[in-house]
Amino acid sequence: MKFCAACSMPLETNEFLALHNADGDFCIYCVDEQKKVKSCEDIFKGGVEYFINEENYPKEYAEKIVRKNMTLLPYWKGNPSACLKGEMLSDEEFNQLFCEK
């Protein structure tokens, strides 16, 4: 299965695929109307909102999850951003969180 290179959303069907380029595949939530990848801040905010609203995590914990997730993704490895500086889950915490689901 493919995943968004900027947020890791599963791209289970083509309806979620918004862009394919040299940096990878991107979902409809990470690409703007001009077919450009959104800013780190916008994608980070969207990820945090997801974990708060859909998973019921407190904001600070959601930020740590999203920051860790984004730093592991191919797009952000090639496009580092100050937006990803700060506290994040440890590798062990991150693996436990997503292996339990």
Phi, psi of 17 (to 5 degrees): -85, 120
In a domain, 4, yes or no: no
In a domain, 91, yes or no: yes
* pLDDT tens-place string over residues 5-19: 999 999 988 899 998
* pLDDT tens-place string over residues 68-101: 999 999 999 999 899 999 999 999 999 998 876 5
Q: Residue 23 is part of which domain span?
A: 14-99
In a domain, 5, yes or no: no
* pLDDT tens-place string over residues 60-74: 999 999 999 999 999
In a domain, 92, yes or no: yes
In a domain, 6, yes or no: no
Query: Going by C-beta distance under 8 Å and a sequence separation of 6 or more, which residues neighbour residue 16?
Result: 9, 10, 27, 28
Cα torsion at 33, 37, 43, 44 (round to 10°)?
-150
In a domain, 2, yes or no: no
Pair 18, 35: CB distance under 8 Å: yes
In a domain, 40, yes or no: yes
Q: How many domains does the chain have?
A: 1
